[in-house]
Structure 1
Amino acid sequence: DLLANPNKILALVREETLSLKERFNDKRRTEISHEAAAELREEDLTPNDPVLITITQNSYVKRTAAQQFRAQGRGGRGVMGMATRDEDEIAHLHFAHAHDHVLFFTNRGRVFSDRVWNLPEAARTGKGLPLVNVLNLGPRETVTSLVLVEDFSEARYISLLTTQGRIKRVELSEFASVRPSGIIAMNLDPGDELSWARTTSGDQELIVVTAGGLALRFDENAVRPMGRAAAGVWAIRLRPDDQVTGFDVVNPDGDLLVVTAKGYGKRTPLSQYAAKSRYTQGILTIDHTRLDETGPVITGRVVDPDDQISLITTGGIIIRMRVSDVNQMGRATKGVKMVNLDDGHTVSACARIRATEASKAEGEVQQAAGPAPA
């Protein structure tokens, strides 16, 4: 009877419509705008979450949510257990936020740029992806240093140093627009390699360490800011057959950690290294008369007692330790044995994990999640 009578159908529709109007008669919750919609950017849709970025000795890269490290406890011990594959170890570890820019500097003097959110995401125990799948690296080109940038408008500098002792200081803003294919960060002499990139504020000091056991501390303003195409100036006057093996920004309250190829090491207060002029030979940072026993210096890093380090040998052995467990000694001493090596093996690399990297990550997580359970 209803379907056969159009008037009854319309009356029922009217009755149901009025019922819906009465049930849902609230004010509009959206706003009608006649202006053109703003263009959405990818970062508008990406949460600016805290993450940890790791690059391993075998050139695997990943980003991991900082929350995954909360259960590991304070002091970075959980971070130190992040080896991503057999006989691989962390070479670089940085705390960052997803919206940060990351600059990858390579041994060929090039720099690549990406946003942190674009890096491959993996769990704490995942190995990530090979860097060659992320960056347009050439044959035998490796990432030697990375720098995280929140805002390129900040008045900061990046100091670049090569193994042959050339240094260049560049304003951070010079790297604000880097092509996906990379750009030249520093022109290199034949046989030289770009090995370090450090950010500075403009009024800090730098320290350079050589394989022959010399260290030179000097003011960063001894190196005037240059353009990207420049080759730089000499940072240290190297002796024949010597080369740079360490470079860092001075923390006046920190120590200089030196490690040798035959497993000796020590840390010395930076107060024992007086500032000198650029392009001088520096002063002794190890007993140079016993280099035959200790081997050449393979790294020099500015450290704090709460930091941790990993030593990697040519035999694939990894030794992890706290910096506070390394003896504090004078400049011109040989140090103590840090690792017992098999015949024919040497220490090939030393990675530092700053205590602040782990504590920053945990602090971000605790602020977001509230206090941890007792």
Structure 2
Amino acid sequence: MDALAYMIDNYNRLDEVTVEHLLAFIKGPDFPTGGILYRFREEKGSEDLDAVTQGYSVGKARLILQAKAHFEEMSRNRSRIVITELPYQTNKTALLERIASLVRDGKVEGITDLRDESDRTGMRIVIELTRNVDPKDILADLFKYTPLQQTFGMQMLALVDGQPRMLSLKRMLHLFIQHREVIIRRRSEYDLARARERAHILEGLLKALDILDEVIATIRRSQTVETARNNLVKNFKFTEIQAQAILDMQLRRLAALERKKLQDEYNELLKRIAYLEDLLAHPEKILQVIKDDLLAIREKYADPRRTQIVDRTKGTLTSTDLLPEQEVWVSVSAAGDLSRANRGRLGKTASRQAAQGSQVALLAANTRDFLYLIARDGRTARVAIHEIPQDVTKHLSEFTDFGRRDDITAAVTFPRGNGSGASGYLFLVTEQGSVKRVAQADFLAAAAMNPQIMNVDEKDRLIAAFPTPGDGEVILVSSTGKSIRFAEEDVRSMGLAAGGVGGMKLKKNERIVYAGLVDPDGELLTATADGYAKRSGLADYSLQGRNGGGIVTHKPSSRTGDVATALVLTKADLESPDCQVALVSAKNKVTLLMLDEVPQMGRAVQGKQVMAVGVGDSIARAHTLTDAPDATGSDDEGDGPARATDGRAAPSSSNGGTSKGAKAAAATTIGARAAKKSRQTTATTATSKATGSGNKRTKSAKPAAAAADTNAPPGTKATKPKATARRSDRSKSTKEPPQSAKTSARAGTTSASA
């Protein structure tokens, strides 16, 4: 009742009401037989799963119920176990028979007597023990082998519009309030109709009493009842209903006292009619009636809670505690392939996927963490990272309910647990400009049941999901070159089942191609479908309110094509001498560029062509890569460890930000050695074809692969007038021993291209 009253008080802000708010009033299921309910339970690959919160979040959970028992000391150093409450639906007689059977079969030793001392004062099952046993061990065995402890399946299933639906606590309470609204509205409409009918009759009776002599004379002159009724209607303007009521009126109503009663009843009816009309005209007053009714029921029928809710026993060793704790890389490919590699190296699979541009996400994680995958329609799935094989590719369908046709657009990792201590949010963006912010604690509490994190329209698709700190700023970029920058706090925190709110107004055939966190000291890189790119300072993008039309950030044309992707370059990226940008086409062709090869321009310009795009191909994604010296040494293959740096990820169509408890890295991270080798090989081939010879390049030669597509036609951008000693030194000779290097991918969350 209190939870319903709380929801009614916050009915205009229901999106902000979470399960945690409702749990302040509804502690958990309360069974008539009492017992003990454990809030937390162990699950495969996890510990401290809040089963109560899970059940109320997604409508389904497994709860552990246990009998309430205590120990009593007896004479001669003996003790006994006394059971006073049983789990729900446990048969006492069957329980006693089960315990006796265990003693006879020798499965439980140390019990000397078993008796039922229950009476009208309550239940009391006594189990007497021998002197040489520990009562705690005996009780633990009884919990294990008897119904004294059992699992209760919680399913909040109900018919909604004639269809069975699994409901969360919030959804169920909301539906109940809506049902009560309908009931009270119908009841009020019925009462109003009856009151108006009665008031109409009373008006006629009171009018007749005022002209009583004329009315009586008219009735006496009439030959029949029908004639009298017609004469009353004709002569005194009564309605037929009023005329019939006058004819039916008893003579005692003519007394003065009776007339006063009629007048009082009429006055009360007028007040009742006014109240009902006002009630029906103001929905908030209907809600107040619902609340008053609920509080009245609570005052009349409330009784103390019977089932005690406790946490799991402290110090219990779970299966998660036995897992080795190891820092790893988790790779998610565009095809849904998952693989894991030691943090010391990217691994062959991840490196190959990265080099081919097919990688959706490369995440820094721990083997005790969980990987959360988010599909285009807002569905989610959770995978325990320790279950992902090392250096072996497995499709996500082997771990989740997702199939091979499901489009995964984002991936993020969080430490194990129920999220009760998590801060920050998950920011979600769709292609049609809808945005949503979900508290990480709400998502993690329900993540075990693979909830729908956002209600996405059938004609829309989710393209970005990334963690945010709660006080950051977000920027959206559209295909027509518009962008909007607003505070993430402009998007209120919503429940999992809610849809989004407007983030950016779009025109026909316009779509969002990028969303990310803003670095105030950074830059925004934009790239068009035909390979035209530029950089502009984020300081040039003023802060606006959400759901606006935005400002011009790129001026595409028929020659450049629409804006295909964007990228937030952080201050750390700009200050790094080795930071590169990887442009990936729809056909997974990759071009690596130094930052200074992408021109810095104003907002409303077309940019400069930095990548040759083949026929039928277009730019799809953009990522940043940073080569850094390896302090720990290289692996046996010569590739240095890839390391996630603090910052904001910038995948093709989403952007991630740092957040407490969240570990994530940008997609398509290429190993330093693999990247250099790719540049050298492609540069040699392109230069050879452009000059007609295979002569060794000199220091003054510009490596073509630095600015050209690795699969571009021969001669495409093979030579450029500009050359830098740094880039020339990078590709002097492939015979030099490879230097240990790291590929640094910024922390955040990644998603596939729109």
TM range (shorter): 0.7 to 0.9
Task: Give the C-alpha shift of residue 174 in structure 1.
Answer: 1.4
> Identity of counterpart residues, as a percentage?
28
Query: Where is the strand percentage greater, Structure 1 or Structure 2?
Result: 1
Unaligned runs of 5+ in 2: 1-133, 138-313, 629-640, 646-739, 741-754
Amino acid corresponding to residue 66 of structure 1 in structure 2: R
Q: Which has the larger radius of gyration?
A: 2
Which residue matches 2:461? 193
Which residue matches 2:373? 104
Cα distance in 2 between the residues matched to 1:80 and 1:209? 32
Cα distance in 1 between the residues matched to 2:318 and 2:595? 43
1:343 maps to which of 615, 637, 642: 615
Question: Any idea what the Cα deviations from partners look like across 1:315-344, whole Å, max 9, x if unmatched?
Answer: 442223344542222211211112112223
Residues 35, 181 of structure 1: alpha-carbon distance in 2 compared, 3 angstrom cutoff? closer
Which residue matches 1:163? 431
Question: Any idea what the Cα deviations from partners look like across 1:259-313, whole Å, max 9, x if unmatched?
Answer: 11111112222111111011101111112xx421111111122123345443222
Cα distance in 2 between the residues matched to 1:149 and 1:285? 34
- RCO comparison, higher one (Cα < 8 Å, 6+): 1
Conserved 8 A contact 2:535-2:601 = yes
Partner of 2:584: helix, strand, or coil? strand
Which residue matches 1:328? 600
Which residue matches 1:142? 407
Cα distance in 1 between the residues matched to 2:627 and 2:487? 26
Which residue matches 2:567? 301
Partner of 2:344: helix, strand, or coil? helix
Which residue matches 2:187? none
Residues 249, 86 of structure 1: alpha-carbon distance in 2 compared, 3 angstrom cutoff? closer
Conserved 8 A contact 1:158-1:170 = yes
Task: Give the C-alpha shift of residue 349 in structure 1.
Answer: 2.7
Amino acid corresponding to residue 41 of structure 1 in structure 2: T
- Answering whether residue 493 of structure 2 is matched by residue 225 of structure 1, we say yes
Cα distance in 1 between the residues matched to 2:596 and 2:366? 29
Which residue matches 2:209? none
Task: Tell me which moved more, 318-327 or 55-64.
Answer: 318-327
Aligned length: 316
Cα distance in 2 between the residues matched to 1:89 and 1:145? 14
Which residue matches 1:18? none
Residues 80, 355 of structure 1: alpha-carbon distance in 2 compared, 3 angstrom cutoff? farther
Task: Tell me which moved more, 34-43 or 194-203.
Answer: 34-43
Which residue matches 2:321? 44
1:253 maps to which of 518, 521, 530: 521
Task: Give the C-alpha shift of residue 352 in structure 1.
Answer: 4.2
Question: Any idea what the Cα deviations from partners look like across 1:104-140, whole Å, max 9, x if unmatched?
Answer: 1110111112332222321xxx6x2223333211463
2:557 maps to which of 277, 291, 303: 291
Query: Where is the helix percentage greater, Structure 1 or Structure 2?
Result: 2
Task: Tell me which moved more, 269-278 or 145-154.
Answer: 145-154
Partner of 1:175: helix, strand, or coil? helix
2:482 maps to which of 214, 233, 243: 214
Residues 80, 354 of structure 1: alpha-carbon distance in 2 compared, 3 angstrom cutoff? farther
Which residue matches 1:90? 359
Cα distance in 1 between the residues matched to 2:582 and 2:494? 35
Matches within 5 A, 1:8-157: 39-68=316-345, 82-84=351-353, 87=356, 89-122=358-391, 128-138=393-403, 140-150=405-415, 152=419, 153-157=421-425
Residues 186, 237 of structure 1: alpha-carbon distance in 2 compared, 3 angstrom cutoff? same
Which residue matches 2:543? 275
Task: Give the C-alpha shift of residue 61 in structure 1.
Answer: 1.7
Cα distance in 2 between the residues matched to 1:85 and 1:68? 13
Conserved 8 A contact 1:56-1:90 = yes
Which residue matches 1:317? 589
The normalised TM-score by structure 1 is: 0.76
Partner of 1:141: helix, strand, or coil? coil
Conserved 8 A contact 1:245-1:299 = yes
Partner of 1:83: helix, strand, or coil? helix
Cα distance in 1 between the residues matched to 2:549 and 2:331? 35
Task: Tell me which moved more, 35-44 or 135-144.
Answer: 35-44
Partner of 1:117: helix, strand, or coil? helix
Conserved 8 A contact 2:567-2:623 = no
Residues 203, 179 of structure 1: alpha-carbon distance in 2 compared, 3 angstrom cutoff? closer
Cα distance in 2 between the residues matched to 1:57 and 1:322? 25
Which residue matches 1:358? 642
Task: Give the C-alpha shift of residue 237 in structure 1.
Answer: 0.8
Amino acid corresponding to residue 512 of structure 2 in structure 1: V
Cα distance in 1 between the residues matched to 2:642 and 2:482? 32
Cα distance in 2 between the residues matched to 1:107 and 1:80? 25
Conserved 8 A contact 1:136-1:182 = no
Task: Give the C-alpha shift of residue 80 in structure 1.
Answer: 12
Q: What value does the CA root-mean-square deviation take over the aligned residues? A: 3.0
Which residue matches 1:21? none
The normalised TM-score by structure 2 is: 0.39
Cα distance in 2 between the residues matched to 1:41 and 1:333? 59
Cα distance in 2 between the residues matched to 1:262 and 1:238? 22
